[in-house]
Chain A
Amino acid sequence: MKRRTLLTTAALGLGLAFGGAAHAQAMDKVKACFVYVGPIGDGGWTYQHDQGRLAVEAAYGDKVETAYQENVPEGADAERVLTQMALSGCNIIFTTSFGYMDPTNNVAAKFPAVKFEHATGYKRDSENVSTFGARFYEGRAVIGTIAGRMTKTNKIGYIASFPIPEVIRGINSTFIHAKKVNPDVTISVVWAYTWFDPAKEADAAKALIEQGIDVIVQHTDSTAPLAEAAKTDGIIGFGQASDMAAYKPSPRVSSIIDNWAPYYVKRVGALLDGTYAQVDSWEGISAGEVEIGEITDAVPAEVKAEAEAIRDAIGSGTYHPFTGPLNKQDGSVWLTEGQTAPDGDLLGMNFYVEGVTGDIPQ
């Protein structure tokens, strides 16, 4: 009998342990920490993440304490910062750049009690790592439409940061939708190899303008490309990550706004009331994570209406930006008529669609 009792106790213990893992304890107070790749004052990516942090503070008041660190380089330094944060009592740590993927997973393995939330990544090595992203390509579809309609030289320039799926998706989505409304359009991609370097971004914009490009789309974080575009008449661009409203009505004719607040508030809330669980979140226009900034009067009314129609169709789920027929750059079939891209293809996208010139750096 004794052995049986022991087994029962063991089973009960196991059950408790498992139950404990599945149903996280409610907490009285949460310390939420944020790691930023750039400065809060970048007016773009990091600024929007910090707005999300402020929204968390506003939503939970005394029940939450936040901390953040700016300008954390992607790589080994990030690991040090994360370890420091985990040791200093953070309950949940948001790492807000793709390059923090490995550091996040490494540190998370050492601190099982701390929750880690990695933005735009795909690795969830341990149970306490969740990933979240936004379907920016939905926004790119809208501005791609505007770009295709607005270009007079039929040349669109794209300032890209790093050759990762996130950025390649954006290029493809922009091009597909520009091409749809303007079959003559071409796209020139410049890889800046930085998320944030205003001088380099301005130089990239300048190089594109000198090549006869009159619409600039950027996937870097500063407002420098817009400032460069403002120097020349007839060049337009789009706010990236943040509204970049200072450059209204032109060159900034619209923008893609990342709104992280709903997600951050939801996750910290879940930790507070004990419903927190590992997720892989990827929301877009419909959940309010991706917003399209005001389309200014520099854009003709019919183009504006067309762009808004696309935005609404994506938001309501009636239209997917990657709908076949679509071929890859080499001419092979990717999506057949009416087929929409599965998320797996999108998350690992490492090819251009047909019509984009140049190679993706490896």
Chain B
Amino acid sequence: MDLGGINPAVLIASLMVASVPIMLAALGELVVEKAGVLNLGVEGMMIMGAICGFVTAVETGSPFLGFIGGALGAMALSLIFAFLTQVLQANQVATGLALTLFGLGLSSLIGQGYVGIKPPATAIVPFGPLADIPVVGRILFSHDPVVYLSIALVAGVWAVLKFSRTGLVIRAVGESHDAAHALGYKVTRIRILAILFGGAMAGLGGAYVSLVRVPQWTDGITAGAGWIALAIVVFASWKPWRILIGAYLFGGITVLQLNLQAAGARIPVEYLSMSPYLITILVLVIMSSGKGRASLNAPVALGQNFHASR
């Protein structure tokens, strides 16, 4: 089955790969925002994950350790954010933006000696004969482990937020930190843990860019993926499965427009490049009209600092 020279199975398979970084980062940010913290430093954390993951993978020769290193590197950066906003009560928006700038600069510094080096290859999960099934095999059984991990994590975050006590506590902290505090929950500690989780996920996403998707290190490699992740969180109205849809939509349209061009389709590329952003705006308008902020589903305490003395 071909659509204007594009094999849909191949297209879906490549959009799944293209979406992984933004999906992971958006998922992490979703948990952070659910806990009531707005961390705009996703881009900075992603690129720290990209360089730390790259360095670890190159030095150890193991892509698995690379992903761990990437997650840890970005976590370390998010710890700065946690310290500034949760302990020193700094403004979250300004701190987040600064974190991005700092991350971009620091990653460039760390990456000085790593330009032009090839990282060890991340193997594809061997599904044996399953991968040879036509269409389905190409779409479902021909990926590296992180693609499956990212989907599993979406399910995991969804389940934890919806069904578990932990999820309830995180949501409570994000909706009303005063009430959560009155009930005896350690608001600051919970938020710091959420920020660290967000950092780890952004780091994984960043490491995926430098280890699998591009496999190399260049300055500024994430090229704005962190900002798209932030947009996806809003697009998904803070619901995990919609993150999956949002990421596939963004990743899919990027891949689709390039594929359409390569296949020689006569479609103006400018419109396709804009479309994910247009859709986001459209969704935001639809969601925010009518029933007001409640329908937007944004955590009520989002972006507000908390101090026990208040």
- Which A residues are within 8 Å of any B CB, using their own CB? 38-43, 70-71, 157, 188-194, 196-200, 202-204, 206-208, 210-211, 213, 222-224, 227-228, 230-231, 244-246, 357-359, 361
Specify which chain A residues have a CB less than 8 angstroms from the CB of B129 in the assembled complex.
none
Contact of A191 (CB < 8 Å), options: B10, B219, B259, B261:
B261
Contact, CB under 8 Å: A199 / B209: yes
> Cβ of B266 and Cβ of A358 under 8 Å apart?
yes
Separation in Å of the B127 CB from the closest CB of chain A?
19
Residues of B within 8 A of A197 (CB): 223-224
A-B contact count (CB 8 A): 118
B14 at interface, CB cutoff 8 A: yes
Do B262 and A190 have beta carbons less than 8 Å apart? yes
Q: Is the CB of A200 within 8 A of B218?
A: no
Tell me whether B219 and A207 are in contact (CB under 8 A). no
Q: Which of A193, A199, A223 contacts B116, CB < 8 Å?
A: A223
CB–CB A211/B5 < 8 A = yes
Complex CA distance for A194 and B118, rounded to whole angstroms: 23
8 A Cβ contacts from B176-230 to A: 209, 213-216, 218-225
Looking at the assembled complex, report how far the CB atom of A133 sits from the nearest CB atom of chain B, in whole angstroms: 24
Closest residue of chain A to B265 (Cβ to Cβ) is: A358
Residue of A nearest to B268 (CB): A361
| CB of B297 closer than 8 Å to a CB of A | no
Contacts A41-B112, A223-B216: A196 and B223 contacting too (C-beta < 8 A)? yes
B268 to chain A: which residues have CB within 8 Å? Answer: 361
**Top 3 A-B pairs, shortest CB-CB distance:** A39-B219, A246-B116, A41-B219
Nearest-neighbour CB distance to chain A for B272, whole angstroms, equals 10
Contact residues in A for B224 (Cβ distance below 8 Å): 197
Residues of A contacting B262 in the complex (Cβ-Cβ under 8 angstroms)? 157, 188, 190, 204, 207-208, 210-211, 213
- Name the distance in Å between B78's Cβ and chain A's nearest Cβ: 22
Q: Which residues of A contact B219 (CB under 8 A)?
A: 38-42, 70-71
Q: Which residues of A contact B304 (CB under 8 A)?
A: none
Flag if A210 contacts B7 (CB, 8 Å): yes
Residue from A39, A189, A207 with most neighbouring chain B CB atoms (10 Å): A207
Contact of A361 among B10, B14, B263, B270 (CB under 8 A): B270
- Which of B6, B21, B254 makes the CB contact (< 8 A) with A200? B254
A202 touches B259 (CB 8 A): no
B positions within 8 Å CB-CB of A: 5-7, 10, 14, 18, 21, 108, 111-112, 115-118, 209, 213-216, 218-225, 254-255, 258-259, 261-264, 266, 268-270, 273
- What is the bound-complex CA distance between A227 and B219, given in angstroms? 15
Q: Is the CB of B255 within 8 A of A198?
A: no
Residues of A within 8 A of B18 (CB): 199, 203
What separation, in Å, do the CA atoms of A204 and B258 have in the docked complex? Answer: 6
Complex CA gap A224/B216 in Å reads 7
On whether A227 and B215 interact (CB within 8 A), knowing A41-B111, A191-B261, A206-B14, the answer reads yes
14 additional A-B pairs beyond A39-B108, A202-B214, beta carbons within 8 Å, are A40-B219, A41-B115, A193-B273, A197-B224, A198-B221, A199-B213, A199-B223, A203-B18, A203-B255, A203-B258, A207-B259, A210-B259, A246-B116, A361-B269
Please measure, in the bound complex, the distance between the C-alpha atom of A207 and the C-alpha atom of B10, giving whole angstroms: 9
Q: How far is the CB of A42 from chain B (nearest CB, A)?
A: 5
User: Once the chains bind, are B264 and A222 in contact (CB under 8 Å)?
Assistant: no
Contacts of B270 in A (CB 8 A): 193, 361
CB distance from A303 to the nearest CB of B (A): 25
Q: For residue B220, which residues in chain A have a CB less than 8 angstroms away from its CB? A: 38-39, 42, 71, 196
The docked-state distance in angstroms from the alpha carbon of A256 to that of B223 is: 25
A42 CA to B273 CA in the complex, in Å?
Answer: 24
How far is the CB of B259 from the nearest CB of chain A, in Å?
4
- Smallest CB–CB gap between B218 and chain A, Å? 5
Chain A residues with Cβ under 8 A from B117's Cβ?
A: 246
How distant is the Cα of A203 from the Cα of B225 in the complex, in angstroms?
A: 14
CB nearest to B224 among chain A residues: A197
- Report A45 CB to chain B, min CB distance, Å: 12
CB-CB < 8 A to A246: which residues of B?
A: 116-118
- Bound together, the chains give a CA A203 to CA B269 distance in angstroms of 15
State how many angstroms separate the Cβ of B274 from the closest Cβ of chain A: 10
- A39 partner residues in chain B, CB cutoff 8 A: 108, 218-220
How near does chain B come to A150, taking the closest CB pair, in angstroms? Answer: 19
Whether A207 contacts B261 by the Cβ 8 Å rule is: yes
Residues of A within 8 A of B108 (CB): 39, 41
Q: Knowing A206-B14, A230-B118, A358-B264 are in contact, say whether A198-B223 is a contact too (CB < 8 A).
A: yes
What chain B residues lie within 8 Å of A204 (beta carbons)?
258, 262
Chain B residue numbers with a CB within 8 Å of A206 are 14, 258
Whether B218 contacts A203 by the Cβ 8 Å rule is no
**In the complex, A223 Cα to B218 Cα: how many Å?**
8
Complex partner residue of B264 from A71, A188, A203, CB under 8 angstroms: A188
Measured in the bound complex, the distance between the Cα atoms of B266 and A357 in whole Å is 10
* In the complex, residue of chain B having the shortest beta-carbon distance to the beta carbon of A225: B214
Complex alpha-carbon distance, A222 and B223, angstroms = 12
- Would you call B261 and A41 a contact (CB within 8 A)? no
Cβ contact within 8 Å between A198 and B266: no
A189 to B258, CA, bound (A): 10
Question: Quick one: closest B residue to A208, CB to CB?
Answer: B262
**Which single member of B115, B258, B273 contacts A43 (CB below 8 Å)?**
B115
Contacts of A230 in B (CB 8 A): 118, 215
Known contacts: A210-B262, A211-B5. The answer to whether A224 contacts B218 by CB under 8 A is yes
Which residues of the partner chain A approach B215 to less than 8 Å between Cβ atoms? 227, 230-231
- Name which residue of chain B comes closest to A41, CB basis: B219
Of chain A, the residue at the smallest CB distance from B258 is A207
Chain A residues positioned under 8 Å from B258 (CB to CB): 190, 192, 200, 203-204, 206-207
Distance A22 CA – B262 CA, assembled complex (angstroms): 52
A246–B209 alpha-carbon span in the complex (Å): 19
Cα A361 to Cα B263 with chains together (Å): 16
Partner of A207, one of B222, B223, B255: B255
